[in-house]
Amino acid sequence: MTTADTVWPESIGAELDRTGPVPLYFQVSTRLEHEIRAGNIAPGARLENEIAIAERLGLSRPTIRRAIQELVDKGLLVRRRGVGTQVVQGQVTRQVELTSLYEDLDNAQQGPATRVLEHEVRPADPASATALGVTEGSDILYLRRQRLTGTTPIAILENYLPADLADLDRDELEQRGLYQLLRARGIAIRIAKQKIGARRAEGDEHALLGTERGGPVLTMERIAFDNTGRAIEFGHHCYRPDMYTFETTVVAR
């Protein structure tokens, strides 16, 4: 039964692929997300109840629940026991995903560019050694890059990587983002721990960013781990605050 004021686009149930590798819950959540972002389901609208959706699609309730949960976690839907599931009021914004700045810019189609300023294998200083979980003084790869969008500098990126990843060369790094290159080597970043802060520009940073000497910069420090829990990359970066902000959606548990 569908009560009068609930919503469910028929197209979501059309031609679900049960043979391919894409999970059913993911097919459903992807299509539902698309309908919401396209505005085909209005903010505040109530979805049909889970059991009705499950029957309509010929799926089980846990599968539907999982699809809905994906969008709850993204901040697109809100569930209330005894009431139902609703589309969130308020503008939908992009999530901070586990991607690199390069990919952010690439997706925004602003034509990212990279200049490799430094690229050398050097002994690990105490901070980098601790972050990467290697012994102090052992070889690590140090990178310093300037990131631009078009001709406007946006960030200065400093990274430290374990020595066995030192085969990344300058040309590759000017053409691709670091995470893209790592993925191409079969290394997937699974978890990252980040600290975001601010400070004055130091040294040559104001020159590289095209800002005033001693002006503010937005900073991020990150340690990234692969799916074995091994530290893959330690970085501290600074961004032009008039060109870049971090956006997040936080959902209460």
Partner DNA sequence: TAGTGGTCTAGACCACATG
Partner DNA sequence: ATGTGGTCTAGACCACTAT
Judged by the rule CB under 8 A, the positions of this chain that interact with its own copies are: 43-44, 62, 75, 78, 80, 86-91, 93, 96-98, 133, 188-200, 215-218, 223, 225, 227-231, 241-242, 244-252
**Among its own copies, DNA, none, residue 43 binds (CB under 5-8 Å by kind):** its own copies
The answer to whether residue 253 forms part of the interface with DNA (CB under 7 A) is no
Instruction: Select 57 or 209, whichever has its Cβ closest to its own copies.
Output: 209
Bridge-based pairing of strands 152-162 and 189-200 is: unpaired
- Rounded to whole angstroms, how far apart are CA atoms 234 and 128? 7
- Four-CA torsion 40, 43, 49, 52, nearest 10 degrees: 0
Minimum distance of DNA from residue 44's CB (angstroms): 14
Nearer to its own copies, 160 or 244 (CB): 244
Least CB distance from residue 138 to DNA, whole Å?
25
Nearer to DNA, 126 or 229 (CB): 229
Using the minimum distance from each CB to its own copies, give the nearer residue, 46 or 170: 46
**In whole angstroms, how far apart are CA 212 and each of 148, 203, 215, 244?**
17, 12, 5, 16
Least distance from its own copies to the Cβ atom of residue 88, Å: 4
Cα 98 from Cα 88, distance rounded (Å): 23
Please identify which residue in 11, 44, 62, 197 interacts with DNA, judged by CB under 7 A: 62
Amino acid in position 9: P
**Of 248, 251, 245, 156, which is closest to residue 205 (Cα–Cα)?**
156
Report how far residue 245's alpha carbon sits from residue 248's, in angstroms, rounded to the nearest whole number. Answer: 10
Q: 59 is in the binding site of which of DNA, its own copies, none (Cβ under 5 to 8 A by kind)?
A: DNA
CB-side exposure of 98: number of CA atoms within 13 Å? 13
63 touches DNA by CB under 7 A: yes
Burial of 149 (0-12, 13-18, 19+ CB in 10 A): buried
Neighbours of 98 (CB within 10 A): 14
Please say which residue, 84 or 215, places its beta carbon nearer to DNA.
84
**Nearest distance, CB of residue 230 and DNA, angstroms:** 12
190 interacts with, out of DNA, its own copies, none, CB within 5 to 8 A per kind: its own copies
Of 9, 84, 215, 216, the residue at the interface with DNA (CB under 7 A) is: 84
Instruction: Give yes or no for a contact between 207 and 109, defined as CB atoms under 8 angstroms apart.
Output: no
Interacting residue with DNA among 49, 110, 180, 219 (CB under 7 A): 49
Sites of contact with DNA (CB under 7 A): 3, 6, 21, 23-26, 47-52, 58-63, 65-66, 79-85
